Amino acid sequence: MKTTIDKAELKKQIIYNVKTLYRKTIDEATPQQVFQAVSYALKDDIIDQWIATHKEIERTDAKTLYYLSMEFLMGRALGNNILNLCAQDEVKEVLEELGFDLNTIEDQEPDPALGNGGLGRLAACFLDSLATLGYPAYGCGIRYKYGMFAQKIEDGYQREVPDDWLRDGYPFEIRRAEYACEVKFGGYVTVTKDETGREHFGQAGYQSVRAVPYDLPIVGYGNNVVNTLRIWDAEPINTFNLDSFDKGDYQKAVEQENLAKNIVEVLYPNDNHYAGKELRLKQQYFFISASLQTAVNKYKKAHNGDVTKMYEKVAFQMNDTHPSMAVAELMRILMDEENLTWEAAWEITTKCCAYTNHTIMAEALEKWPIELFSRLLPRIYGIVEEINRRFVEEIEATYPGNHEKIAKMAIIYDGQVRMAHLAIVGSYSVNGVAKLHTEILEKQELKDFYQMMPEKFNNKTNGITQRRFLLHANPLLANWVTDKISDAWITNLPEISKLKLFVDDPKSQQEFMNIKYQNKVRLAKYIKEHNGIDVDPRSIFDVQVKRLHEYKRQLLNILHVMYIYNELKSHPDMEYYPHTFIFGAKAAAGYRRAKLTIKLINSVADVINNDKSINGKIKVVFIENYRVSNAEIIFAAADVSEQISTASKEASGTGNMKFMLNGAITCGTLDGANVEILEEVGKDNAVIFGMTADEVINYEKNGGYDPMQIFNENQEIRQVLMQLINGFYSPQDPELFRDIYNSLLNTYSSDRADTYFILKDFMSYHEAHMKINELYQDQTRWAHIVMMNTACSGKFTSDRTIQQYVDEIWELDKVTVEL
Ligand code: 26Q
């Protein structure tokens, strides 16, 4: 692929930028200043492509996607943009000539972390694939002043540090004040009748904020296509008039100023957990209203002000229920501002909106109290009420006299607005994110909706972008793959199956294993620098990195480490290959048990890492502040991928795919996309354990199981559990881990004990580990397995996922951009 970047021009530009931005010559510039200067220089080139892309979209009137998401977990842009501009060599050389190292410069960029975990990172992968495939798309989100907190580990505990990502200014964003718009909160609904007797609704007595968009370029790979991530900032609407002696005005001005300041202040750090906070509801409406107003205006401009066929050119994809207000807001715009009838507005809305479900966890379902919803958004609430009234009528017509159906399916029920129901009723498509997950939605969680409207339901198994997670994250392996099979995999990942030719070739095996080793050395160095722990790159790197959540069962993993440690202590000659157990996880700031689990992992690490008697056979490392930038280093270095959620709970998982692509074996349950990974790689090349989703669901229907029986019958498990309450890992405070012990054994700590079947799956998990221990020691067999994992990962590119969304949901038009 050829780049448009000219070396001499780039060098001149960098020097010029350093001068005008910082009043410095290049030899005086700090790495941060060089990062800024390079980024601005590249942005110049990107902007030409960006403008050309938009001209082409306008010229061809191509159907455009608006991906509505509260989260975009982008990770660093500089390195990715360089790769997608195919300018790696040019930029690297120019920087070297100026006396700088590209990696060091890339490391200056803060991680834009406007997301929590899987859902936000999926949105980022989708944007990369959309641009690379040439589909017109906007990501629409919030420009949080503070993104996902940075994690500090102090005395084994997590401390949250604000993520001030905008501190030095972010060079890739552009403020677009000309697209600012007004978003209204509170007040009351007004009704007026026109000469024909038709009612017109409006709002009065409200407070408003000015939504100001910032655009970030999303660079497609080597195709000159640049899409837009549009994130909204909030500003006070009226410059506050200090001369005003009108007390009411003054009060209002202050309130509006505060509203604007608070709204975009911080990302809620909850993952898979709903917090019914008023500010969160404001955030949702704020970015939805601003995004939809702009989308409708843009469409109108291109179509003589006539919105009636908007669905032919526009699709809104709702990333979970967080943006599901879009259904009601679009109705409001079409009726109150465009003067359409309910029926006309409803037709457009339900042909534009589509909804993706990412979870079946009950505690993640959004339900807003009517009182809060109607006070904050009176007009939107009135529209939701009417959507609900009409939908309940439909239920009654379909199932006459069936009151249970209404109770189960209504949008407004029991004093609450159920956002998932609003999203389903207002959408033409409802999709799950992996085969198993979609099946569970259809057969269990959303069964009533599936029965009434089966045509809406479909599956779109998640994917990841190989450009960030192989090409950028693992240059050694990326180059090796390219040498073997050409670089076609970069835009066509299924090509990677050509590696199957090499999986039993001794020389290729050597090369592959050597690359893995070098990546383990790179990670070991990172761990030494950041944690001060020495790890042996020849040991098995067994890795679990993801948000901390009980259903993901980091607890199972660490309890098992404790189990192995006990075994090694009592049988020092036990045949056991040295292992490094690596964890990385942020806990939601208010999630006490998750935070205690982090403390447990660190306490176990302290004891084991300092026990000379086991000859370094086990090391435990908790990597502080797991995020996109260090994830790239971690995936490349993993031997074993821990994907051990309680079956049925993990909708898909995407980390599992990143490990697979980088040549790690999955140690996992039959949950989420693990099921499909197993299908692709074959049962000899993955290690599967534990209960199935059906078994879990059956137990749940029958009130759980009895963990006490396992506790009583299994001495080794009992020993591990007793170590939670006898001070073995917390001599200063033997009671420290009592809550975790209780969660596993005592029904009084929650309705059921061991809700996530940790003890039930324990021995099966242990066997899986013993299997891995054995496989690793046959290096030929192991090389075959991990190479098969890379070779079989073709399905899991987000390019495939996006193509399926386009073919089956969005029907977007492709654009090609010539410069
Ligand atoms: C809701 C209300 C108030 C505050 C926060 C939230 C909230 C925020 C984030 C609820 C859920 C989330 C995130 C969910 C999430 O990341 N789900 C994951 O989505 C991935 C992409 O589809 C899947 O791979 C994972 O299985 C799923 O857990």
Listing DSSP states for 281-319 in one string gives HHHHHHHHHHHHHHHHHHHHHHTTT--TTGGGTEEEEEE
The per-residue pLDDT for 253 is: 81
Q: Token pair 């969160």 is at which residue?
A: 280
- What ligand 1 atom has the least distance to the C-alpha of 356? 22
613: buried, middle or exposed (CB in 10 Å: 19+, 13-18, 0-12)?
exposed
Collect all residues with Cβ–Cβ distance below 8 Å to 30 and sequence separation of at least 6. none
Residue having the nearest C-alpha atom to atom 10 of ligand 1: 272
- What ligand 1 atom has the least distance to the C-alpha of 462? 22
Tokens, residue 422: 């609003």
Query: Is residue 470 within 8 Å of 629, Cβ to Cβ?
Result: no
Backbone angles phi, psi at 659, to 5 degrees: -65, -45
DSSP per residue over 469-534, as a string? IIIIT-HHHHHHHHHHH-GGGGT-GGGGGGGGGGTT-HHHHHHHHHHHHHHHHHHHHHHHHHH---
Q: At what angle do helices 247-263 and 278-302 cross, to 10 degrees?
A: 90
Q: Distance, CA 364 to ligand 1 centroid (Å)? A: 8
Query: Is residue 419 within 8 Å of 366, Cβ to Cβ?
Result: yes
User: Do 595 and 711 share a domain, yes or no?
Assistant: yes
Is residue 699 situated within a structural domain? Answer: yes
Residue having the nearest C-alpha atom to atom 6 of ligand 1: 274
pLDDT digits (tens, 9 = 90+) for 99-158: 999 999 999 999 999 999 999 999 999 999 999 999 999 999 999 999 999 999 999 999
Query: Is residue 44 within 8 Å of 37, Cβ to Cβ?
Result: no
- What ligand 1 atom has the least distance to the C-alpha of 273? 10
pLDDT digits (tens, 9 = 90+) for 648-672: 999 999 999 999 999 999 999 999 9
Q: Distance, CA 14 to ligand 1 centroid (Å)? A: 40
C-alpha–C-alpha distance, residues 318 and 357, integer Å: 9
- Structural domain boundaries, residue 137: 61-76+111-144+156-462+803-810
User: Do 96 and 189 share a domain, yes or no?
Assistant: no
| SS3 category, 231 | strand
Q: Distance, CA 738 to ligand 1 centroid (Å)? A: 29
The per-residue pLDDT for 651 is: 98
User: Do 47 and 121 share a domain, yes or no?
Assistant: no
With the most atoms of ligand 1 within 8 angstroms of its CB, the residue from 116, 285, 437, 464 to mutate is 116
Is residue 422 situated within a structural domain? Answer: yes
Tokens, residue 267: 């990302």
End-to-end CA distance of the chain: 15
C-alpha–C-alpha distance, residues 277 and 275, integer Å: 6
Residue having the nearest C-alpha atom to atom 1 of ligand 1: 274
User: Do 54 and 136 share a domain, yes or no?
Assistant: no
Is residue 503 situated within a structural domain? Answer: no
Q: Distance, CA 272 to ligand 1 centroid (Å)? A: 4
- What ligand 1 atom has the least distance to the C-alpha of 361? 28
User: Do 570 and 708 share a domain, yes or no?
Assistant: yes
Backbone angles phi, psi at 466, to 5 degrees: -70, -15
Residue having the nearest C-alpha atom to atom 21 of ligand 1: 119
Catalytic residues: 358, 546-547, 552, 654, 658
Give bridge partners of residue 654 from the DSSP assignment: none
Residue having the nearest C-alpha atom to atom 19 of ligand 1: 119
Tell which phi-psi region holds residue 628, choosing left (phi > 0), alpha (psi between -120 and 50) or beta. alpha
User: Do 191 and 43 share a domain, yes or no?
Assistant: no
Helices (DSSP H) in 222-366: which residue ranges? 247-263, 278-302, 325-332, 342-352
With the most atoms of ligand 1 within 8 angstroms of its CB, the residue from 144, 285, 359, 436 to mutate is 359
User: Do 633 and 772 share a domain, yes or no?
Assistant: yes
C-alpha–C-alpha distance, residues 273 and 322, integer Å: 12
Q: Distance, CA 116 to ligand 1 centroid (Å)? A: 8
* ipTM score assigned to the predicted complex: 0.98
Residue having the nearest C-alpha atom to atom 24 of ligand 1: 653
Is residue 151 situated within a structural domain? Answer: no
User: Do 17 and 67 share a domain, yes or no?
Assistant: no
Domain count, the chain: 3
Q: Distance, CA 69 to ligand 1 centroid (Å)? A: 11
pTM recorded for the entire structure = 0.98
User: Do 385 and 406 share a domain, yes or no?
Assistant: yes
User: Do 418 and 311 share a domain, yes or no?
Assistant: yes
CA distances (Å), origin 540, targets 578, 601, 637, 779: 6, 18, 10, 12
C-alpha–C-alpha distance, residues 770 and 85, integer Å: 45
Give bridge partners of residue 213 from the DSSP assignment: 232
CA distances (Å), origin 199, targets 308, 341, 343: 20, 10, 14
Q: Distance, CA 394 to ligand 1 centroid (Å)? A: 31
Closest CA to 619 of 607, 606, 609, 611: 609
With the most atoms of ligand 1 within 8 angstroms of its CB, the residue from 144, 267, 271 to mutate is 271
The per-residue pLDDT for 402 is: 98
Is residue 487 situated within a structural domain? Answer: no
Q: Distance, CA 117 to ligand 1 centroid (Å)? A: 7
Backbone angles phi, psi at 52, to 5 degrees: -60, -40
What value, to the nearest 5°, has the Cα angle with vertex 528 and ends 522 and 533? 130
Give the residues surrounding ligand 1 with Cβ less than 6 Å away: 116-119, 122, 268, 270-272, 274-275, 280, 358-359, 364, 366, 433, 462, 650-654, 672
Run of H or E residues at 631:
helix 628-637
Tokens, residue 350: 């339900």
With the most atoms of ligand 1 within 8 angstroms of its CB, the residue from 73, 320, 366, 676 to mutate is 320
| SS3 category, 646 | coil
User: Do 106 and 132 share a domain, yes or no?
Assistant: no
What value, to the nearest 5°, has the Cα angle with vertex 340 and ends 339 and 343? 155
For the domain that residue 67 is a member of, what is the CATH number? 3.40.50.2000
| SS3 category, 274 | coil
Is residue 716 situated within a structural domain? Answer: yes
With the most atoms of ligand 1 within 8 angstroms of its CB, the residue from 67, 71, 119 to mutate is 119
Tell which phi-psi region holds residue 399, choosing left (phi > 0), alpha (psi between -120 and 50) or beta. beta
| SS3 category, 203 | strand
Residue 760 identity:
K
| SS3 category, 416 | strand
pLDDT digits (tens, 9 = 90+) for 240-289: 555 555 666 778 888 888 999 999 999 999 998 988 999 999 999 999 99
Closest CA to 185 of 250, 274, 256: 256
Tokens, residue 297: 């205006």
Radius of gyration of the chain (CA): 27
Is residue 620 situated within a structural domain? Answer: yes
C-alpha–C-alpha distance, residues 218 and 125, integer Å: 11
DSSP per residue over 156-171, as a string? TEEEEE---TTTT--T
User: Do 92 and 180 share a domain, yes or no?
Assistant: no
What DSSP character marks residue 223? S
Q: Distance, CA 433 to ligand 1 centroid (Å)? A: 12
Is residue 149 situated within a structural domain? Answer: no
Backbone angles phi, psi at 185, to 5 degrees: -125, 150
Query: Is residue 65 within 8 Å of 137, Cβ to Cβ?
Result: yes
Collect all residues with Cβ–Cβ distance below 8 Å to 151 and sequence separation of at least 6. 158, 159, 160, 161, 586, 624, 625, 626
The per-residue pLDDT for 248 is: 67
Q: Which residues of the chain have pLDDT under 70?
A: 239-248, 749
Q: Distance, CA 818 to ligand 1 centroid (Å)? A: 38
* Pairs from 720-729 (Cβ < 8 Å, separation ≥ 24): 720/559, 720/562, 720/563, 720/566, 721/559, 721/745, 723/562, 723/566, 724/600, 728/607, 729/562, 729/600, 729/603, 729/604, 729/606, 729/607
